[in-house]
Amino acid sequence: MLFIFLGANDARLPSKEDSSTLEEYQSSLHAIISLLRDPASEYYSPKTRILIITPPPIGELMIQSYTPTFAADPFVFNNRTRLFAEMAKQVAREANVPSIDLYSEIENRVREEQATGTWVSRYDGYDNYLVDGVHLNNKGNMLLYNLILTTFKAVWPEMLPKSLPS
């Protein structure tokens, strides 16, 4: 089993050292998959199951509070991350591997909480899922765990603990 969960740092604005272009990100995802699927690769493992997980959305207000020098337009940063999430889903389709759209799952929950007033914070609700505006907190990790479990049930039910030999 290989989870490919990349992109939050790659999606940083191009002026950052650890950022990538969308094309570099796409190429990297394909390269990782090829390592396991290409018979000429020393890491060839045709039975390894691969799951791509999109990067989560970015809590810009949280990043601004942790990094006062953060000067990006508050919507550009998350919009750029959305493009990386879309690319991750595209690569999953192209490579015929399942994916989890963590970006949309968190965005939809944050928007619903904002609309219903069930989560009020100075960080627009992203602190319900992110610890620092980029990385998942306990609730974000539990959400991801449940999404992984749902994916296993749908795609690889034989991999669930109750299905494995004891």
Amino acid 162: pLDDT: 83
pLDDT at 78: 83
Q: What pLDDT is attached to residue 75?
A: 45
Cα separation, 9 vs 11, whole angstroms: 5
| Tens of pLDDT, residue by residue, the chain (166 residues) | 999 998 777 676 655 566 788 899 999 999 999 999 999 999 999 999 999 999 999 888 888 777 666 555 444 578 889 999 999 999 999 999 999 999 999 999 999 988 887 776 878 889 999 998 889 999 999 999 999 999 999 999 998 888 878 7
Residues 64-70: contacts with CB under 8 Å, at least 24 apart: 64/133, 65/123, 66/132, 66/133
- What's the pLDDT score for residue 18? 61
Give the sign of the dihedral formed by CA 109, CA 112, CA 113, CA 114.
positive
pLDDT of residue 80: 86
The one-character DSSP state at 108 is H
Q: Quickly tell me which residue has 């944050």 as its tokens.
A: 110
H or E stretch at 24? helix 22-37
> What 3-state class would DSSP assign to 136?
strand
pLDDT of residue 71: 55
